[in-house]
Amino acid sequence: MDAGNLAIATQVRIAEVEDMVSKQDRAARRLANIDNEIIAIQRSTKTELPFMQPLHNYMRMHYRWYYNWHLSRYSSNINWIIFLAAVFVLLFYILK
């Protein structure tokens, strides 16, 4: 094999390796996205108040908007903020 053919074969091999690395990177990103989706789904099935679990599960199964809302990373924090705000408003009106 002469130097010209060797250079071409080396370039072809480098291109194949770069293509394989690119495919591995895309696969790794897809797996990371799938892992994040699994984590979000698992997080969305939990409730802070155990007695609310049956209602939470029912609503997740029957209302798409409720299911999607609880897939949000911040839904639990926002729910607590809304709950605490409602409690403060009620206490304000009761103790007024």
Q: Indicate the average pLDDT of the chain.
A: 89
Global confidence as pTM: 0.62
Radius of gyration of the chain (CA): 27
H or E, element range at 5: helix 3-44
Alpha-helical regions (H) of 45-74: 53-62, 64-71
Residues 56, 75: contact at Cβ < 8 Å? no
Q: Is the pLDDT of residue 19 over 90?
A: no
Q: Is the pLDDT of residue 62 over 90?
A: yes
